[in-house]
Structures are given as C-alpha cells and as structure tokens.
Amino acid sequence: MSSLPGIAFQILQSVFVVLAAPLLTGWINQCRAWLQNRSAPSILLPYYTLAKLFHKDAVMARDASPLFRLTPYVLFGCMWLAALIVPVLATDLPFAPAADIIALVGVFALARVFAALAAMDIGTPFGGLGARREMLIGFLAEPAMLMTLFTAAFISGSTQLNTIVETLAHRDLAIHPSLAFAGVAFLMVLLAENARIPIDNPSTHLELTMVHEAMILEYSARHLALVEWAVAIKLFAYMTIGVALFAPWGITEGGDWGGLPLALAALAVKLALAGAGLALIETLLAKLRLFLAPEFLASAFLLAVLGMLIHFLVRG
C-alpha cells in the first residue's frame, strides 16, 4: 500500500487542493456577484490578493507573543493535512488511514483553538470578542459534524473515509433517509464552520458584527495571506467531504493515473455546482442574530442525531 506512485499521487493531490482552493473562493464570489446583479471580479482575484499580501511588510503589535506568530503557519499546516487526507481525487491512498473522520474533526478543532488563542493574544476587546463568538459557534458545530459523519460511518461500518466513500460509491443506488438528514445537517455545519451567511458575513467590515474576521484583525501581510489561504483550503476540504459523502461517483483509485482526468472533471463539475449552490444560499438568507446561531446549530446537531436514529430504525 505504501508504494511510491501512491505516495506521489497523494502529495500531488494535496498540492492540487492547496493551489485550487482560492479558485473555488473566487468562483463563489463571482456567483454571488452575478446573483446580486453586480459585475463580478476576476475569478483569479484571490490569487492576486495573496500575492499582494505576501509582498507587504508584516505589521504586528508590540506585545505579540510567539504563539501569535506561529499560528498562521500552524493553521496552514492543519489545512494541508486535511487536504492530504480527504479523498478528493482518489480513495485508497497510502497515508489516508492516518486520520479517520474523527481525527479530521480533530484537525479542524485544533485549527480553531489556535486561531482563537492567537485572537486573544494582543489584548484588544475585538480579539476576545472574535474568540468568544468563534468558540460559541464551534462548540455546537463540532459535535454536529461528528454526528453527521457517524451516520455515514454506521451506514458503511467504518470510520475510514476511504471505506465510507467506496461503500457509498459502489453500492446500488439506494436512498437512505438517514443520509438525507445527515446531508441537511452537514450543509448547516458547513455554513457555520466556514463563516458563511447565515452565521457570519465574510465580507463585513463592521467589527461588532464579525465572528471569524474579528479573530484575524491583527494579522497582516504574509500572516494574513496564510490565514486566508487556510480558510480557502478549509472551505474546499469541507465541500469535498460533502461531495465524497453524498455524491461520490467518478472518484478513482489511488495510483490509477488513467482515472485521473475523469476524477478531475467530475470534481470540477461537482464543485462548480456546489459553489453556485452556496452562493445562492448566501444570497437568499440573511445573517442570523448572534444568539440564534446556537439554535441554528442545535437544530443541525439534533437533525444529525435523528439521522442516526432513523438509520437504526429503518435497518432493523
């Protein structure tokens, strides 16, 4: 299983994800602009932004601790690990068993904790505000995500993403009501974790309405570039997990270079549709009052638990 072509495939897959993630963000911004009847920016705008940020001098507060400076790299590392593990183009990759779905949720939790700690580092009220709100959303989003993935795990009998995707891709077309519940819950968690409307507005500039942006207010230049890049990779990873769980057709085996073009094409189509869908949801919904966000996420959590229970009922 640890063959050299397999490892090369896996590393290439992760590089592909890291490089393609800002493109997805650009596509979603374009769709949003079209839906809001504005003229859209270039789809490559996130890349230009990243390049611009890397060129700048970093401006930091005088009291910034080493944790503050380390966090953007740690965030980037965590998201790269997620890109390595999620079956984007192929299942059965050699290092994919290093982390199953629970560890994947753990990676995102690690990133969230480091971001929150860095936010509290400077000592301004905004950092504390961002950290507090992020943890408020996270404490329900993480269990909801875990329960959603558990539903998929119960259906396929394993917590390995490889096995789950293979089981769901290759079995006969069966409609699982529990997966339907899990899908709705997953969508709600995706919106919450990636700081999208209705939980958070990614394009706000009013500090008191921010959740995620408030945590990264103090970052600039290369640190900000790494954090923004990590956010884009996170969105890409979440969407790919959703695609892998709920629409896994077209995915290829590790080391099978022949199936690669089909996998790439299928992924592009699925992500384009998903991105447009996300933009549509963001345009139709309005941002929730902050204390309605726990209710939103509690509904996601309960839906996921309900999906698990329905699985047990319908199966036996």
Partner 1 sequence: MATSLSGQLVNLLAAFLLLLAFAMLSQRRVLTLIHLFAWQGAALAASTLIVAYATGQAHLYFSAALTVALKVMLIPWVLHRLIDRLYVRWDIETLINIPTTMLIGIGLAIFAFALAAPISQMASTVTRSTLGIALASILLSFLMMIVRRKAVPQVIGFLAMENGLFFAATSATYGMPLVVELGVALDVLVGTFIFGIFFFHIREQFDSLDIEHMEKLKED
Partner 2 sequence: MAPPSLQFSPIAGSLAVAVAWLAIGLAGLIPAGNALIARRLAFPAGALAGLALAGFGLQAIWLPAAQLVLPLGLPDLPFHLRIDALAGFFLTLLGAVAAGITIYAAGYFRKEAAGRLALIALQYHVFLASMACVILADDAYLFMVAWETMALSSYFLVTTEHRLPATRSAGFLYLLIAHLGALAILLCFGVMNGGQGDYTFDALRAAELGPPGATLAFLLAFFGFGAKAGMLPLHAWLPEAHPAAPSPVSALMSGVMIKTAIYGMVRVIYDLIGGVRWEWGLLVLAIGAATTLFGVLYALMQHDLKRLLAYHSIENIGIILLGLGMSMLFIGFGHAAAGALGLIAALYHTINHAVFKGLLFLGAGTILHSSGLRDLNEMGGLIRRMPNTAFYFLIGALAISALPPLNGFVSEWLTFQTALQAPLLEHGVMRSLVPLFAATLALAGALTAMCFVKVYGIAFLGQPREAPHAAPAPGGGRDAGALERIGMAWLAAGCFVLGLLPSTFLQMLNRVSVSLSGGGLPAEALESSWLWLVPTAAEQASYSPVIFLSVIVAVTLLAFLLVRGFYHGRARYSDPWDCGYPEQSSRMQDTADAFGQPIRHVFGPLYLMKRHLPAADDRAPRYSVQIEDRHWYLLYLPIARLAEFVSSKVGLLQRGRISIYLLYSFLTLIALLVFVR
Which residues ranging from 174 to 193 are in contact with partner 1 (CB under 8 A)?
Answer: 174-175, 177-178, 180-181, 184
DSSP 120: T
Give me the phi and psi of 189, to 5 degrees please.
-70, -35
Q: Which stretch binds partner 2 (CB under 8 A): 29-37, 62-70, 184-192, 246-254?
A: 62-70
**267 makes contact with partner 2 (CB under 8 A):** no
Binding-site member from 24, 30, 112, 241 for partner 2 (CB under 8 A): 112
**20 makes contact with partner 2 (CB under 8 A):** no
**107 makes contact with partner 2 (CB under 8 A):** yes
Q: How many other β-carbons are positioned within 10 Å of the β-carbon of residue 134?
A: 24
* Integer angstrom CA distances of residue 77 from 14, 80, 181, 234, 238: 11, 5, 32, 11, 16
* Integer angstrom CA distances of residue 152 from 5, 77, 188, 201, 281: 29, 27, 16, 30, 24
Query: With CB cut-offs between 5 and 8 Å by kind, which of partner 2, partner 1, none does residue 86 bind?
Result: none
In the complex, least distance from residue 149 CB atom to partner 1, rounded to whole angstroms: 19
**8 makes contact with partner 2 (CB under 8 A):** no
Q: Write out the binding residues for partner 2, residues 114-173 only, by CB under 8 A.
A: 116-117, 119-129, 131-133, 135-136, 138-140, 142-143, 146-147, 150, 153-154, 157-160, 162-163
- Closest of 116, 90, 85, 115 to residue 103, by C-alpha: 85
Task: Kindly report the length of the chain.
Answer: 316
Query: With CB cut-offs between 5 and 8 Å by kind, which of partner 2, partner 1, none does residue 184 bind?
Result: partner 1
Nearer to partner 1, 142 or 228 (CB): 142
**207 makes contact with partner 2 (CB under 8 A):** yes
Size of site (CB under 8 A) for partner 2: 82
**204 makes contact with partner 2 (CB under 8 A):** no
In the complex, least distance from residue 226 CB atom to partner 2, rounded to whole angstroms: 7
List, in order, residues 6 or more apart from 29 with CB less than 8 Å away: 40, 41, 45, 46
Query: With CB cut-offs between 5 and 8 Å by kind, which of partner 2, partner 1, none does residue 303 bind?
Result: partner 1
Query: With CB cut-offs between 5 and 8 Å by kind, which of partner 1, partner 2, none does residue 238 bind?
Result: none
Token reading at 181: 């519940």
**235 makes contact with partner 1 (CB under 8 A):** no
Which element (helix H / strand E) includes 207?
Answer: none
DSSP assignment string, 88-105: SSEE--TTGGGS-HHHHH
Helical pair 4-35 and 45-55, crossing angle rounded to 10 deg: 110
**273 makes contact with partner 2 (CB under 8 A):** no
Q: Write out the binding residues for partner 1, residues 268-307 only, by CB under 8 A.
A: 294-295, 298-299, 302-303, 305-306
d(CA 94, CA 85): 10
- Closest of 28, 87, 43 to residue 272, by C-alpha: 28
Residues that bind partner 1 (CB under 8 A): 172, 174-175, 177-178, 180-181, 184, 294-295, 298-299, 302-303, 305-306, 309-310, 312-316
